[in-house]
Amino acid sequence: MQEFAASLALAAHLVSAGDARLAGIVSLSLGVSLGATLLACALGMPLGAWLAIGRFPGRHTLIVAFNALMGLPSVVAGLFLYLLLSRAGPLGGLGLLFTPTAIVIAQTFLIAPLIVALTRQLIEDAWQEYREQLRSLGARRTRAVATLLWDGRFSLSIVGLAGFGRAIAEVGAVMIVGGNIDGVTRVMTTTIALETSKGDLPLALALSLILIALVMGVNLFAALLRAWAARRWG
């Protein structure tokens, strides 16, 4: 218990002193997760909207597939991407393995199904409510989709925040494709795993505190945004 207290004190010191190593890890984490979130939203939201409104053969299968992908174990996704990106793999020539870009790809891959599924649900409900009204006003399908995406902007932002929360907490796949290289691909979660196994608790704890604060902050922001949007726009 005493050791824990001492570690915690040291951790608090690291955070408050703005330790350079710590700052580097945190900013890398934020950078890759933000990149992955933006990429996953850019791909996943139009796809989700298309699945919600489109009527084509195989649509149902795709929906089931994306739902299933949400439950894909992170390390399995990591292994799969590792095989793709490794020197001998089909995308080996790009030299992406063990780079921050590989982490962005892994996180995108892991959160995109979530974003697709949530967007689809959201747009499907909205479509139900607006379809006749929009058609009656003369909106064609493309216009209607754009209208629904804009109308759902607050809910979709919250979907994005949920994706970000998951991306930044991701560890298995990130460890495998990033390689956890000091100063290059070492993010918060992988550092926590490594430092804990090495017995260096202060750094692990400091990062955990920041990670908790970040994830809680994101969730709090999402809740506030939801409440504000409901009050402002209904």
Partner 1 sequence: MTMSGWLRLEALGLNENGARLLNPVNLTLTAGRTAILGANGAGKSTLLRLLHGLLRPSEGRLIWPTPLSQGMVFQRPAMLRATVLANVEYGLKIRGVESAERRRRAAAALAQVGLGDFAKRPARRLSGGEQQHVALARVWALEPQVLFLDEPTASLDPASSREVERIIGDIAAAGARIVMSSHNLGQARRLAEEVIFIDHGAVLEQTPAAEFFKQPGSEAARRFLRDEMP
**CB-nearer residue toward partner 1: 61 or 142:** 142
CA distance linking residue 123 with residue 50, whole number of Å: 9
Determine the length of the chain.
234
Min dist CB 137 to partner 1, Å, is 4
CA distance linking residue 196 with residue 2, whole number of Å: 17
Q: Which of residues 123-142 bind partner 1 (CB under 8 A)?
A: 129-130, 132-139
Q: For residues 186 and 25, is the Cβ–Cβ distance under 8 A?
A: yes
Min dist CB 47 to partner 1, Å, is 22
Here the tokens at position 39 are 């990429």
Q: Looking at 1, 142, 197, 233, which residue binds partner 1 (CB under 8 A)? A: 233
Q: Which of residues 140-179 bind partner 1 (CB under 8 A)?
A: 143, 147, 151, 153-154
Here the tokens at position 200 are 């260096």
Here the tokens at position 126 are 């909205």
Min dist CB 133 to partner 1, Å, is 4
Binding-site residue total for partner 1 (CB under 8 A)?
19
CA angle 223, 106, 101 (to 5 degrees): 105
50 lies in the binding site for partner 1 (CB under 8 A) = no
- Residues near partner 1, by CB under 8 A: 129-130, 132-139, 143, 147, 151, 153-154, 229, 232-234
